[in-house]
Amino acid sequence: MNAVPCSPPEAGTRLQALADWVAEVAALTRPDAIHWCDGSDAEYDALLSQLQADGTLIPLNPDTHPGCWLHRSDPDDVARVEHLTFVCTRDAEDAGPNNHWMAPDAAHRKMDALFEGCMRGRTLYVVPYCMGPIDSPLARCGVEITDSPYVVANMRLMTRMGAPALRRIEREGSFVRGLHSLGELDPDRRFIMHFPEELSIQSYGSGYGGNALLGKKCHALRIASWQAREEGWLAEHMLIVGIENPQGETHYIAAAFPSACGKTNLAMLVPPATYLEAGWKVWTVGDDICWMRPGTDGRLWAINPEAGYFGVAPGTSAKSNPNALAMIQRDTIYTNVALTGDGQPWWEGLDDRVPAFDWQGRPYDPANGPAAHPNARFTVSARQCPSWSPRAEDPQGVPISAIVFGGRRATTMPLVFEARDWAHGVLVGATMASETTAAATGQVGVVRRDPMAMKPFCGYHFGDYFAHWLSFDVPGAKLPKIFHVNWFRKDADGHFLWPGFGENLRVLEWIVGRVTGHAAAETSPLGLLPVIDSIQMPASVQLETERASILGYEPELWDADRAEAGRSLATYRPRLPQDFETALRAVPES
């Protein structure tokens, strides 16, 4: 792309507030050029050519992966940096114990010093974007200023970026301000600051997606969760999937899982053969983020604010997620995957081939560790997913019938249960937990509480966040039923009791049945459990004892878990809402 010379930023927009902000940033960072992104195909093609010319992107095999590219990031810049991510509110208590906090004035001084002159020799890109369908009343807009053309290319895939977004920003006059620079990619000079009271984000020193694509976690969750509380909606770390039964009725489910719990796999689920033959279909609306707002009919209506997927490549295969594998065969940007000898992307769990080069470009040697980085990614347009739902672009969103929480638990939690009511469901989400894996932490089975899978992403105090969830239970509300699932229960020999993947549709069928009043359940201290024959079991589960183990729970373990969950919640006092304390005390022992 031929960068335009520095010119008065008023030339790029009619909105004076935006023009003034770009001018202020340019004066601070001193770029050689400014480019206002329009999101056109021509602009994207020119950007890819520039990235290829300077070695940032490597073209992949055009016969097997047309339009696909490989990016290798700095080896010290491969993941989100939670310990360097701050929420900067005037009152530290508003950020809460679930966030790292820094005073706004101190954070601005620190970041201004880092940004001073950092774009010399570079182009400043102005990236207007819309999170959500461009005409949706649920959508919100932002502008990211960055000196990374790789970020620009990814933002075009991940958001509705360019001229239409700019026109909406100019009409509304408001937008989230995101300032990003690669800096020197020095881990000691790397910070991601959020200023929710200012609706602004500043990120320095990283080119990694979660730290640099500011529309994603930074805007769509940390800032949006603050906006949502003020405006009466919810910004959640949830997939959205539509389940269509043989009668042609579609129910939409929003689900929150911590990492390594099968979120993307569930969003793109392929039904078992018998379900396909019967006419069941699965529609993918989103795999990561869900914005929900009460509609005039009392139901929660949801959009996926993203336009693309920034997925984890390792583990993605024809068995685990055939839809994901199919959608990334063309027009995809891969980051930190390995390469085969003929220029195809490769990662652990894909197939039995041996790659030629690892994620750092070295000849592959098992002694150097995995061929692909464990956090290797793909960025791709959501429309390429075979199960993509056209309702993903519906300005009104989709009505949510059920909300599902879940985690990776080898014991304690059954396959599925239903919360007794909304308050109990919020409690279930607030106390959800998942066990760590050896690949992530070096320890197996360590239970970590991750309320609503939002611990790294909620932009304010969890006590206030729980109260906000409870506030939706008002007269006239037709709220979704809330459930908890656990695909990862193990037997005494350490084998998974439930086969997972596409078979999870059997559980979703029961959940939809509970919504419509057609599936049977029985009461328990946890909530409502499926009766033994209300879920169609897969062929691999034949014995009655296996069914009982999958659907049941261990009372002693659950009682201990409930006590530990109460201690975890106590850390959010005194802002833990009284209704929440009441709901916690109301949970019976086994």
| C-alpha distances in Å from residue 509, one per residue of 81, 244, 245, 427, 482 | 38, 10, 8, 24, 14
Write the burial class of residue 552 (CB in 10 Å: 0-12 exposed, 13-18 middle, 19+ buried).
middle
Contacts of 151 (CB under 8 A, 6+ apart): 125, 127, 144, 180, 207, 212, 213
- The answer to whether 336 is annotated as binding is no
- The answer to whether 357 is annotated as binding is no
- The answer to whether 96 is annotated as binding is no
The single residue listed with the structure tokens 């053309």 is: 149
- The answer to whether 375 is annotated as binding is yes
The residues carrying an active-site annotation are 261
Helix, coil or strand: residue 4: coil
- The answer to whether 261 is annotated as binding is yes
- The answer to whether 502 is annotated as binding is yes
Q: Token pair of 30, please?
A: 């001193």
- The answer to whether 377 is annotated as binding is yes
- The answer to whether 259 is annotated as binding is yes
The single residue listed with the structure tokens 């509300």 is: 477
Contact yes or no for 208/78 (Cβ under 8 A): yes
CA distance 211 to 84: 10
Contact yes or no for 445/412 (Cβ under 8 A): no
CA distance 128 to 38: 8
Amino acid at 317: S
Annotate 377-441 with three-state secondary structure: EEEEEHHHCCCECHHHHCCCCEEEEEEEEECCCCCCCCCEEECCCHHHHHHHHHCCEEECCHHHH
DSSP codes joined into one string, 560-575: HHHHHHHHHHHTTTTS
- The answer to whether 504 is annotated as binding is yes
- The answer to whether 232 is annotated as binding is no
- The answer to whether 494 is annotated as binding is no
- The answer to whether 237 is annotated as binding is yes
- The answer to whether 488 is annotated as binding is no
- The answer to whether 7 is annotated as binding is no
- The answer to whether 408 is annotated as binding is yes
Q: Token pair of 33, please?
A: 């050029």
- The answer to whether 209 is annotated as binding is yes
Question: Which uninterrupted H or E stretch holds 448?
Answer: strand 447-449
Contacts of 488 (CB under 8 A, 6+ apart): 261, 407, 408, 409, 410, 435, 496, 498, 500
- The answer to whether 61 is annotated as binding is no
- The answer to whether 121 is annotated as binding is no
| Binding-site residues from annotation for GTP | 260-265, 377, 408, 501-504
| Binding-site residues from annotation for substrate | 80, 208-210, 259, 375-377
| Binding-site residues from annotation for Mn(2+) | 217, 237, 288
| Binding-site residues from annotation | 80, 208-210, 217, 237, 259-265, 288, 375-377, 408, 501-504
